[in-house]
Amino acid sequence: MNFRPTFTKEERISSQKEIDFLFNERSSFVVYPLRIIYTERETISEIPASILISVSKKRFKRAVKRNRLKRLIREAYRLNKSDFLECLSSQNKQLLVSFLYISNELCSYSEMETAMKKALNTLKQKIA
């Protein structure tokens, strides 16, 4: 299956039931500045991985900074997800994944992309 570099509504975790399931049945690891929380999904859908992105309001009071960080994470994921999703679909697995920003300072896009590549490779190894 060939995955396009887009980020659609179906790829986001939107239901409270899935969010609760993710945070109750979780495994996690840290690739600074991100904490990745993941679990295998019970429900079957055509999308191999659904993600949730979170930036703490406690660390970043201004919505402008929080939104910028969420945009950086989303863009880094969008551009680097194809190998990860192909690996998941070849193994016939489906994941719920949360990316939590844990640093106290803003980071550049290059730092975020490096962290995202490392995080997706680590996820591929952990589910294999």
Residue 46's pLDDT is 85
* Nearest to 99, CA basis, from 10, 8, 12: 12
Condensed to tens digits (0 to 9), the pLDDT of residues 19-51 reads 999 999 999 999 999 999 999 987 778 889 999
What pLDDT, on the 0 to 100 scale, is given for residue 73?
A: 98
Gap between the Cα atoms of 31 and 83, Å rounded = 18
The full set of domain ranges for the chain reads: 9-123
pLDDT at position 1 is 62
> For the domain bounded by 9-123, which CATH number is listed?
3.30.230.10
pTM for the model: 0.94
